[in-house]
Amino acid sequence: MIKKKPATKTKTTARKPSRKVSTKKRTESRVVSATCKKCGQTFKLDIGTKSKQEIVEILSKRDSFECPGHHFELSSPLNYWVIDWDSVKSQNVPTDAEWKADMRKKYKLISSDELQRDYTVTGFSSGVCVAIRKKDGEKVYLEFTNSPSGKRYYY
């Protein structure tokens, strides 16, 4: 016969609000230059404060990736990217407000909320969003990117 433990009262505590992503400027972020052997795209890879060994370990465990050159591969990025470890340098990362101001000089930015409100999305593929603008029914192709805090914007 299995004995049941007597029920005990549990203390209820108020749930903490979810942590918001900080939009303050990070004091330091380290970047390294990389080039894709397949498409020739050169780009900066943000490695934060991780060591070369940690980055290699993380990338070797990836079984697929999308290259900044807009092709998708079912393999580790290490099979395609040549990373110049001698190019590591520190840089300041802009706040979301600074990033948005800079992007708005070049593009008309659309937030995810605005996209849902004003467009009907019909598909995504390789860094492009296909949508129908609700006000006039026009089919549009939007590229997208993420702000420093990770919020997605379309342009």
Q: How much is the pLDDT for 34?
A: 95
Pair 42, 84 in one domain: yes
**pLDDT score of 63 more than 90:** yes
What's the number of domains the chain is made of? 2
Residues 140 and 103 reside in one and the same domain: yes
* String of DSSP letters for the chain: -PPPPPP------PPPPPPPPP-SPPS-EEEEEEEETTT--EEEEEEET--HHHHHHHHHT-S-EE-TTS-EESS-GGGTEEEEEEEEEEEPPPPHHHHHHHHHHHS--EEHHHHHHHEEEEEEETTEEEEEETTT--EEEEEEEE-TTS-EEE-
| Spatial separation of the C-alpha atoms in residues 43 and 83, rounded to whole Å | 10
Structural domain of 148: 96-154
Amino acid at the residue 138: E
Whether residue 73 lies inside any domain: the answer is: yes
Do 148 and 105 share a structural domain?
yes
Examine the domain organization and report whether 110 and 125 are in the same domain: yes
Angle at 33 between CA 31 and CA 37, to 5 degrees: 140
Instruction: Decide if 24 is inside a domain.
Output: no
Tell me the pLDDT tens digit for each residue of 95-128.
888 889 999 999 999 999 999 999 999 998 877 9
Judge whether 4 lies within some domain.
Answer: no
Arithmetic mean of pLDDT, 125-144:
92
Q: pLDDT averaged over the chain?
A: 83
Residues 121, 129 contacting (CB under 8 angstroms): yes
Look at residue 63 and tell me if it is in a domain. yes
The predicted structure's pLDDT at residue 28: 66
